[in-house]
Structure 1
Amino acid sequence: MRNLRSSVSVTIALAAVGVAWNAPAASADIGIQVVIASGVIGTGYGTGCTYSVVANGSDPEGMNFFDNGIRFAVTPGGQTTQVARWTPTTVGTHEILITQSNDSKSVMLTVGTGINAGSVCQAI
Protein backbone atom coordinates (compact mmCIF):
# COMPACT_ATOMS: atom_id res chain seq x y z
CA MET A 1 0.00 0.00 0.00
CA ARG A 2 2.84 2.40 0.89
CA ASN A 3 4.64 1.65 -2.39
CA LEU A 4 1.41 2.16 -4.32
CA ARG A 5 0.83 5.51 -2.58
CA SER A 6 4.42 6.56 -3.33
CA SER A 7 4.06 5.53 -6.97
CA VAL A 8 0.78 7.42 -7.29
CA SER A 9 2.32 10.52 -5.66
CA VAL A 10 5.31 10.44 -8.00
CA THR A 11 3.03 9.95 -11.00
CA ILE A 12 0.82 12.87 -9.96
CA ALA A 13 3.83 15.09 -9.32
CA LEU A 14 5.29 14.23 -12.72
CA ALA A 15 1.94 14.89 -14.39
CA ALA A 16 1.81 18.25 -12.67
CA VAL A 17 5.16 19.21 -14.20
CA GLY A 18 3.10 20.37 -17.17
CA VAL A 19 2.27 23.45 -15.05
CA ALA A 20 5.31 25.48 -16.11
CA TRP A 21 5.91 29.05 -17.24
CA ASN A 22 8.59 30.89 -19.18
CA ALA A 23 9.32 34.23 -17.52
CA PRO A 24 10.98 37.32 -18.96
CA ALA A 25 14.62 37.89 -18.02
CA ALA A 26 14.96 39.31 -14.51
CA SER A 27 17.51 39.36 -11.71
CA ALA A 28 15.65 36.44 -10.13
CA ASP A 29 13.62 34.13 -12.35
CA ILE A 30 10.90 31.87 -10.91
CA GLY A 31 9.80 31.06 -14.45
CA ILE A 32 11.59 27.74 -14.74
CA GLN A 33 8.87 25.73 -13.04
CA VAL A 34 6.08 25.85 -10.45
CA VAL A 35 4.44 22.56 -9.44
CA ILE A 36 1.63 21.87 -6.98
CA ALA A 37 1.04 18.14 -6.55
CA SER A 38 -2.66 17.29 -6.29
CA GLY A 39 -4.26 14.91 -3.81
CA VAL A 40 -3.70 11.16 -3.90
CA ILE A 41 -7.42 10.28 -4.03
CA GLY A 42 -9.90 12.13 -6.21
CA THR A 43 -9.07 15.04 -8.43
CA GLY A 44 -8.09 18.56 -7.67
CA TYR A 45 -7.49 20.09 -4.27
CA GLY A 46 -9.44 19.92 -1.02
CA THR A 47 -9.77 22.00 2.14
CA GLY A 48 -7.78 20.64 5.06
CA CYS A 49 -5.48 18.66 2.74
CA THR A 50 -1.80 19.65 2.62
CA TYR A 51 0.09 20.03 -0.67
CA SER A 52 3.69 20.75 -1.59
CA VAL A 53 4.22 23.87 -3.68
CA VAL A 54 7.55 23.56 -5.48
CA ALA A 55 9.04 26.61 -7.21
CA ASN A 56 12.29 26.48 -9.14
CA GLY A 57 14.17 29.68 -9.80
CA SER A 58 17.45 30.81 -11.28
CA ASP A 59 18.57 32.42 -8.01
CA PRO A 60 19.00 30.75 -4.58
CA GLU A 61 17.15 33.60 -2.81
CA GLY A 62 14.19 32.85 -0.58
CA MET A 63 10.63 33.05 -1.88
CA ASN A 64 7.29 34.25 -0.51
CA PHE A 65 4.19 32.08 -1.06
CA PHE A 66 0.68 33.59 -0.96
CA ASP A 67 -2.85 32.15 -1.14
CA ASN A 68 -5.37 34.77 -2.29
CA GLY A 69 -3.07 37.53 -1.02
CA ILE A 70 -2.34 35.93 2.37
CA ARG A 71 1.24 34.78 2.89
CA PHE A 72 1.41 31.14 3.99
CA ALA A 73 5.16 30.51 3.71
CA VAL A 74 8.55 32.19 3.42
CA THR A 75 11.54 30.10 2.43
CA PRO A 76 15.01 31.07 3.63
CA GLY A 77 16.85 30.54 0.36
CA GLY A 78 20.16 28.84 -0.22
CA GLN A 79 18.80 26.68 -3.05
CA THR A 80 17.20 27.36 -6.42
CA THR A 81 14.36 24.92 -5.62
CA GLN A 82 12.07 26.14 -2.83
CA VAL A 83 9.28 24.05 -1.27
CA ALA A 84 6.37 25.29 0.82
CA ARG A 85 3.45 23.41 2.40
CA TRP A 86 -0.03 24.70 1.52
CA THR A 87 -3.29 23.74 3.27
CA PRO A 88 -6.32 25.50 1.76
CA THR A 89 -9.02 26.42 4.28
CA THR A 90 -11.79 27.65 1.96
CA VAL A 91 -13.67 26.20 -1.00
CA GLY A 92 -13.49 28.14 -4.28
CA THR A 93 -10.91 29.73 -6.54
CA HIS A 94 -7.43 30.26 -5.12
CA GLU A 95 -4.56 32.21 -6.60
CA ILE A 96 -1.22 30.82 -5.44
CA LEU A 97 1.37 33.57 -5.91
CA ILE A 98 5.11 33.04 -5.50
CA THR A 99 7.43 36.06 -5.33
CA GLN A 100 11.20 36.39 -5.35
CA SER A 101 12.96 39.77 -5.66
CA ASN A 102 11.25 41.51 -8.59
CA ASP A 103 9.74 38.36 -10.13
CA SER A 104 6.45 36.61 -9.43
CA LYS A 105 4.41 33.71 -10.76
CA SER A 106 0.82 32.76 -10.02
CA VAL A 107 -1.30 29.66 -10.46
CA MET A 108 -5.10 29.63 -10.35
CA LEU A 109 -6.69 26.56 -8.70
CA THR A 110 -10.15 25.44 -7.69
CA VAL A 111 -10.45 23.96 -4.20
CA GLY A 112 -13.29 21.67 -3.17
CA THR A 113 -14.15 20.04 0.13
CA GLY A 114 -11.38 17.83 1.47
CA ILE A 115 -11.74 14.75 3.62
CA ASN A 116 -8.49 14.28 5.52
CA ALA A 117 -8.07 10.69 6.72
CA GLY A 118 -4.54 11.13 8.05
CA SER A 119 -2.20 9.50 5.56
CA VAL A 120 -4.66 10.02 2.68
CA CYS A 121 -6.75 13.06 1.77
CA GLN A 122 -9.69 13.02 -0.63
CA ALA A 123 -10.90 16.07 -2.53
CA ILE A 124 -14.57 16.05 -3.52
Structure 2
Amino acid sequence: MTGSIIRTTTAAAVGCATVATVAALAAPAAATGTRVGIDPGISFGLATNYGTGCSYAIDGIVDDPVTPVVFYDNSVPFAVANPSGSLAQAHWTPATPGPHRLQIWQRHAGAADVFPYVDIQVGTGLPTGSGCAVPG
Protein backbone atom coordinates (compact mmCIF):
# COMPACT_ATOMS: atom_id res chain seq x y z
CA MET A 1 0.00 0.00 0.00
CA THR A 2 1.34 3.40 -0.86
CA GLY A 3 0.27 6.73 0.44
CA SER A 4 1.00 10.37 0.02
CA ILE A 5 1.51 13.19 2.41
CA ILE A 6 -0.50 16.30 1.77
CA ARG A 7 0.92 19.49 3.22
CA THR A 8 -1.18 22.61 3.58
CA THR A 9 0.23 26.01 4.27
CA THR A 10 -1.52 28.86 5.97
CA ALA A 11 -0.55 32.49 6.12
CA ALA A 12 0.02 32.18 9.88
CA ALA A 13 2.43 29.24 9.39
CA VAL A 14 4.40 31.15 6.74
CA GLY A 15 4.59 34.19 9.02
CA CYS A 16 5.86 32.10 11.96
CA ALA A 17 8.44 30.38 9.76
CA THR A 18 9.68 33.74 8.48
CA VAL A 19 10.05 35.14 12.01
CA ALA A 20 11.90 31.99 13.14
CA THR A 21 14.27 32.19 10.16
CA VAL A 22 15.07 35.86 10.80
CA ALA A 23 15.62 35.19 14.50
CA ALA A 24 17.98 32.31 13.71
CA LEU A 25 19.97 34.42 11.28
CA ALA A 26 20.24 37.30 13.74
CA ALA A 27 21.54 35.12 16.58
CA PRO A 28 25.31 35.02 17.06
CA ALA A 29 27.00 31.88 15.75
CA ALA A 30 27.69 29.30 18.40
CA ALA A 31 30.92 27.37 18.49
CA THR A 32 30.54 24.30 20.61
CA GLY A 33 31.78 20.76 20.51
CA THR A 34 28.81 18.45 20.85
CA ARG A 35 30.23 14.91 20.78
CA VAL A 36 33.52 13.02 20.73
CA GLY A 37 34.15 9.45 19.62
CA ILE A 38 37.02 7.07 19.02
CA ASP A 39 37.28 4.36 16.40
CA PRO A 40 39.21 1.25 17.47
CA GLY A 41 39.83 0.29 13.84
CA ILE A 42 40.88 -3.34 13.70
CA SER A 43 42.35 -3.37 17.22
CA PHE A 44 41.12 -6.09 19.54
CA GLY A 45 41.47 -7.29 23.09
CA LEU A 46 39.62 -9.11 25.85
CA ALA A 47 39.19 -6.16 28.24
CA THR A 48 39.60 -3.24 25.81
CA ASN A 49 40.24 -2.55 22.14
CA TYR A 50 42.63 0.32 22.84
CA GLY A 51 46.34 -0.21 23.49
CA THR A 52 49.45 1.84 24.18
CA GLY A 53 51.62 2.55 21.17
CA CYS A 54 48.73 2.13 18.72
CA SER A 55 47.10 4.99 16.81
CA TYR A 56 43.37 5.77 16.80
CA ALA A 57 41.15 8.24 14.96
CA ILE A 58 39.32 10.65 17.27
CA ASP A 59 36.20 12.35 15.89
CA GLY A 60 34.94 15.62 17.30
CA ILE A 61 31.44 16.66 16.26
CA VAL A 62 31.01 20.44 16.38
CA ASP A 63 28.44 23.03 15.38
CA ASP A 64 30.86 25.61 13.96
CA PRO A 65 32.62 24.59 10.72
CA VAL A 66 35.35 27.24 11.04
CA THR A 67 36.64 27.54 14.63
CA PRO A 68 39.56 25.16 15.43
CA VAL A 69 38.96 22.26 17.81
CA VAL A 70 41.36 21.27 20.61
CA PHE A 71 41.61 17.57 21.57
CA TYR A 72 42.54 16.54 25.13
CA ASP A 73 43.68 13.32 26.79
CA ASN A 74 43.15 13.45 30.56
CA SER A 75 43.00 17.28 30.40
CA VAL A 76 46.27 17.55 28.43
CA PRO A 77 45.93 18.94 24.88
CA PHE A 78 47.41 16.67 22.21
CA ALA A 79 46.06 18.04 18.90
CA VAL A 80 44.34 20.99 17.24
CA ALA A 81 42.29 20.45 14.08
CA ASN A 82 40.21 22.59 11.78
CA PRO A 83 36.77 21.10 11.21
CA SER A 84 35.49 20.02 7.84
CA GLY A 85 31.81 20.80 8.14
CA SER A 86 30.70 19.46 11.50
CA LEU A 87 33.62 17.01 11.91
CA ALA A 88 37.09 17.63 13.29
CA GLN A 89 39.52 14.69 13.39
CA ALA A 90 42.81 13.95 15.09
CA HIS A 91 44.97 10.89 15.66
CA TRP A 92 45.82 9.76 19.18
CA THR A 93 48.43 7.29 20.38
CA PRO A 94 48.04 6.53 24.09
CA ALA A 95 51.34 6.34 25.95
CA THR A 96 50.10 4.94 29.26
CA PRO A 97 47.68 2.14 30.18
CA GLY A 98 44.70 2.89 32.41
CA PRO A 99 41.67 5.16 32.25
CA HIS A 100 41.66 7.99 29.70
CA ARG A 101 39.13 10.77 29.22
CA LEU A 102 39.19 12.11 25.67
CA GLN A 103 37.64 15.57 25.30
CA ILE A 104 37.21 18.23 22.67
CA TRP A 105 36.80 21.98 23.01
CA GLN A 106 35.77 24.60 20.49
CA ARG A 107 36.00 28.25 21.57
CA HIS A 108 32.70 30.06 21.90
CA ALA A 109 33.09 33.70 22.95
CA GLY A 110 30.54 34.83 25.47
CA ALA A 111 29.33 31.40 26.56
CA ALA A 112 30.31 28.74 29.05
CA ASP A 113 32.93 26.25 27.89
CA VAL A 114 31.60 22.83 26.88
CA PHE A 115 33.90 19.79 26.92
CA PRO A 116 32.15 16.70 25.53
CA TYR A 117 34.05 13.55 26.43
CA VAL A 118 34.33 9.80 26.17
CA ASP A 119 35.96 7.63 28.84
CA ILE A 120 37.95 4.60 27.71
CA GLN A 121 40.28 2.05 29.24
CA VAL A 122 43.69 1.55 27.63
CA GLY A 123 45.73 -1.65 27.95
CA THR A 124 49.25 -2.51 26.86
CA GLY A 125 49.20 -2.63 23.08
CA LEU A 126 51.08 -4.83 20.64
CA PRO A 127 50.99 -3.12 17.22
CA THR A 128 50.35 -5.68 14.48
CA GLY A 129 51.06 -3.39 11.54
CA SER A 130 47.47 -2.72 10.51
CA GLY A 131 45.88 -2.94 13.97
CA CYS A 132 46.66 -3.57 17.59
CA ALA A 133 46.41 -6.60 19.85
CA VAL A 134 45.63 -5.74 23.45
CA PRO A 135 46.19 -8.86 25.60
CA GLY A 136 44.07 -9.23 28.77
Q: Give TM-score scaled by structure 1 length.
A: 0.70
Partner residue, 2:54: 49
Residues paired across the two proteins, number: 98
Describe the SS at the equivalent of 1:104.
coil
**Identity value in percent:** 37
SS in 1 for 2:115: strand
Q: Is the 8 A contact 1:39 1:45 kept in 2?
A: no
Q: Deviations over 1:94-115 (max 9, x none)?
A: 1111111132211111000100
Match of 1:38 among 21, 34, 40: 40
Matched ranges for 1:15-34 at <5 A: 27-31=30-34, 33-34=35-36
1:75 alignment counterpart:
81
Q: Report the more deviating stretch, 67-76 or 107-116.
A: 67-76
1:107 aligns with 2:118: yes
4+ aligned runs moved over 6 Å, structure 1: none
The match for 1:84 among 84, 90, 112 is 90
Q: Distance in 2 between matches of 1:34 and 1:69?
A: 14
Corresponding residue for 1:13?
A: none
Q: CA RMSD in A?
A: 1.8
Listed as ranges, the gaps of 5+ residues in structure 1 are 1-25
Distance 1:54 1:88 in 2: 16
Structure 2: which 5+ residue stretches go unaligned?
A: 1-28, 108-112
**The residue matched to 1:56 in structure 2 has which SS?**
strand
Higher alpha-carbon Rg? 2
Q: Write the letter of the residue equivalent to 1:59.
A: D
Give a deviation string over 1:20-43, Cα, whole Å, max 9, x none. xxxxxx922322x42201141424
- Corresponding residue for residue 63 of structure 1: 69
Q: One-letter code of the match for 1:120?
A: G
